[in-house]
Amino acid sequence: MAMNTFYDTIGVKYSDLRKPDARIEKVIKRALGSAKTVLNVGAGTGSYEPVDRQVMAIEPSIEMIRQRNASAASTIQGYAEDLPFDDNSFDASMAVLTIHHWTDKEKGIKEMRRVTRGKVVILTFDPSHRGFWLADYIPELVKLDELIMPRIADFKEWLGPVEVSAVPIPHDCSDGFLYAYWRRPSAYLDPRITAAMSSFWVVDKISEGLRKLESDLATDNWAQQYSELLNFDEYDVGYRLITTK
C-alpha cells in the first residue's frame, strides 16, 4: 500500500495516541543545535517539531496533515524522495520514526542531505538490536524490522560520518510507537493502542502471540520472566538517533 494511502487508513485518531514525549523531544532539539530553519520530513501530525524554530513540514498522508494542530508548521503534501526545495535551503532537517515507510530510503536520505546546509537528524530503529520481549510473542516483528529498517551502516554510506546514539525510552513514554510500552505489556492487548502502530497492520499471525501474552499476564508468567524490567525507569529497546557530523 502506498504510504499516503496507508496512513490515510491507519492514521484516524493517530494524534490522540502518538503524543510527543518531552524527554525524547529534548534529545531531538539538542541534536538540531542552533539551526533556525528546519525541514521535517515524513512529518506526520507534527510530533517533535521545535516550536522555537522556523519549521517547514512535508508529509504524504492527507489524513495526517488534517490532524496537525492549527499552530503547527506549514505543511506540503509530498515525499522524501522528491523534496520540492533548492539545494541548501534549510539549516537542519529531521525525520522521526518515518524512514522505514519510505519507498526509496537511500534517495530520501540523500534528498534530505541535498536540501540541508547543516545537520541531518534522524530518529530510527536499529534492526540489529535484539532482546525486546515482544518478539518472544510475535517473532515476525524481528523479520519485519530486518526487512524495512535501514541498517546503521546504511546511514553511514548515505550520509558520510554520523554520530549514532541510543535513545532510551521512558517507562511512561507518552508517544505510542511500537516498543514504547516495554514496561506496560497489557497495552499490546488494547486494539485502540495498537491501531496507531503500523507494524500491527503489516504483520500477519499476531493473534496467537497476543493470546499467549494475555495468558502470561493473567498467570504472572510475564512478570516472573521479565521482572527485571520493572526496576528500570528507562530502557534501551533499540531506538537510535543518527546525526551528521
pLDDT of res. 4: 45
Q: Are 160 and 153 contacting, i.e. CB atoms less than 8 angstroms apart?
A: no
How high is the pLDDT of residue 67? 86
pLDDT for 174 equals: 95
HSE, side-chain direction, 13 A CA sphere, residue 201:
15
Give the span between the Cα atoms of 60 and 194, in whole angstroms. 22
CA atoms of 74 and 88, how far apart (whole Å)? 19
Delimit the domains of the chain by residue range. 3-244
Q: Which three cell numbers stand for residue 115?
A: 536540501
Going from the first residue of the chain to its last (245 residues), give the mean pLDDT of each consecutive group of 10, the final group possibly shorter: 48 67 97 98 94 96 87 91 98 97 97 98 96 94 94 98 98 95 96 86 88 97 95 97 97
CATH code that applies to domain 3-244 = 3.40.50.150
Q: Quick one: pLDDT at residue 142?
A: 92
Quote the pLDDT of residue 7. Answer: 53
**Which pLDDT does position 70 carry in this prediction?**
79
- pLDDT value for 15: 60
Indicate the pairing of strand 234-235 with strand 169-170: antiparallel
